[in-house]
Amino acid sequence: MEPGNGGKKVTIRSARGIVTCPGRNFVTLKIETDEGVYGIGDATLNGRELSVASYLSDHVIPNLIGRDAQRIEDIWQFLYKGGYWSRGVVAMTALAAVDTALWDIKAKLAGMPLYQLLGGRSRDGVLVYGHANGADIEQTVDQVGAYCDMGYRAIRAQSGVPGVKGAYGVGRGDMYYEPADAALPTETLWDTAAYLNHAPKLFEKLRDQYGPDIELLHDVHHRLTPMEAARLGKSLEPFRLFWMEDATPADNQEAFRLIRQHTTTPLAVGEIFASIHDCRTLIQEQLIDYIRSTVVHAGGITHLRRIADLAGLYQIRTGCHGATDLSPVCMGAALHFDTWVPNFGIQEYMRHTPETDEVFPHDYHFADGYLHAGEAPGHGVDIDEKLAAKYEYEPRQLPVARLRDGTLWNW
Ligand code: KDG
Ligand code: MG
């Protein structure tokens, strides 16, 4: 159809969730309109995929049929306020999928790439960071080198800790690190003292080897108490990290006050947040430097934009989560968001496997350390439903961690 439609209603005719497992599980919502234009949104919640699929089909989709697909804000408010039990991550992921699919439709109707509709380009490319993992420091140092050779300018570095089996972030020998590895959670070990002794050595070695310019990031994955996190942040200061991520659980946002008082290492948090209320104190008290929430788990483009705007008031920048359990649909939408958002910081980019990329054809591309959103109308990602149907759902959950004495710890 021609761009623009003179305000005419574009009716949602059907919607369905598509579950597929091209190497790992993904849930995708497809919304079709009576104009023949459709949109898709990512609805993947790692290890809990079917709960979102059922939330969509049982409780959300019946509410969409017959509505005007152009009324994104009203549909968002209807599902959020009207759902009453809002803000849970399952509900917010389902809501994000609807919102993303509707923005995709609106941009297709307008004949524009999504970033144009959001306000246009704020930058030429989206700085991304890749994941270098190794069983020990030597392997991680080599992996960082491999990412430098691929053109990355920012790299997250994680290393196995001597005597700690299955420490977070250690891959299984290839680029496609996938923590959700079994139908029932794998039990891993955690040893804070060993980790705190080890982590600064990794970054000392990386700075020795690669110099001061490359951006280095690190994910603590919620393993430390606030005071331990403060100590780690301090000990990493000489190595100038781009950020230290998820240093302590943010269930208690005020816990970050203590970390902040003790270290100038920049802090990032928020990949598991579902709403602006999960980070309101962190932002308003400037307790963090980067907010990690992304499209799929934080209520879609509509809500993520509100979080970013609040963060912008306090010079906090975005650093969207981009692990492989977020599908290319989320990545495509996030890249349009990143291309526009004024207070952009960085985008995580773990590459998907070729099987996943085949199921989700997309027009974003990597060059020289940056990802570039495509110029096709919409968010530029599609789903090949025939191919998706060939990959049946496989139950897989994330690991858990225990201390040496058996105490269950944060993963
Ligand atoms: O589903 C969990 C993963 O997305 C998470 O473990 C990855 O921490 C992560 C990151 O920073 O990408
Ligand atoms: Mg993380």
Which ligand sits closest to the CA of 130?
1
Q: Greatest CA separation found in the chain?
A: 67
Ligand 2 ion: nearby residues, β-carbon < 5 Å: 219, 271
In the chain, what is the straight-line distance between the N-terminal and C-terminal CA atoms, in Å?
A: 49
Identify the CATH assignment for 117-375 out of 3.20.20.120, 3.30.230.10, 1.20.120.530, 2.102.10.10.
3.20.20.120
Are residues 133 and 143 in contact, defined by beta-carbon separation less than 8 angstroms? Answer: yes
Whose Cα sits closest to atom 10 in ligand 1?
A: 323
For a mutational test of ligand 1's pocket, the pick from 219, 267, 296, 326, i.e. the residue with the most ligand atoms closer than 8 A to its C-beta, is 219
Give the tens place of pLDDT for each residue, 303-325: 999 999 999 999 999 999 999 99
Ligand 1 nearest atom to the CA of residue 46, by list position: 1
Q: What local confidence, expressed as pLDDT, does residue 178 receive?
A: 83
Show which residues are catalytic: 168, 221
The closest ligand to the CA of 131 turns out to be 1
What's the pLDDT tens digit per position in 205-226?
999 999 999 999 999 999 999 9
User: Which residue blocks in 298-340 are alpha helix, DSSP H?
Assistant: 300-313, 328-340
- Centre of ligand 1 from the C-alpha of residue 411, in Å: 10
d(CA 361, CA 112): 18
pLDDT of amino acid 168: 85
Give yes or no for a contact between 363 and 376, defined as CB atoms under 8 angstroms apart.
Answer: yes
- How many other CB atoms are there within 10 angstroms of residue 165's CB atom? 12
Residue 212, phi-psi category: left (phi > 0), alpha (psi -120 to 50), beta (remainder): alpha
Contact 164, 195 (CB under 8 A): yes
Q: What's the pLDDT at 166? A: 80
The candidate with the shortest Cα–Cα distance to 289, out of 233, 357, 361, is: 233
Give the helix/strand (H/E) hosting 281. helix 280-284
Sequence-distant (≥ 6) Cβ neighbours of residue 251 within 8 angstroms: none
pLDDT in tens, the chain (411 residues): 455 566 799 999 999 999 999 999 999 999 999 999 999 999 999 999 999 999 999 999 999 999 999 999 999 999 999 999 988 999 999 999 999 999 999 999 999 999 999 999 999 999 999 999 999 999 999 999 999 999 999 999 999 999 998 888 876 656 677 899 999 999 999 999 999 999 999 999 999 999 999 999 999 999 999 999 999 999 999 999 999 999 999 999 999 999 999 999 999 999 999 999 999 999 999 999 999 999 999 999 999 999 999 999 999 999 999 999 999 999 999 999 999 999 999 999 999 999 999 999 999 999 999 999 999 999 999 999 999 999 999 999 999 999 999 999 999
Closest CA to 69 of 111, 27, 40, 45: 40
Q: Residues 19-50: pLDDT tens digits?
A: 999 999 999 999 999 999 999 999 999 999 99
CA 105 to chain centre: 22
- The residue assigned the tokens 């985008």 is 347
The confidence score (pLDDT) of residue 311 equals 99
Give me the residue spans of the domains in the chain.
Answer: 117-375
Q: DSSP labels for 167-232?
A: -TT--SSSS---S--BSSPPEEE--HHHHHHHHHHHHHHHHHHH-SSSEEEEE-TT-S-HHHHHHH
Ligand 1 pocket test target in 271, 349, 351 with most atoms within 8 Å of CB: 271
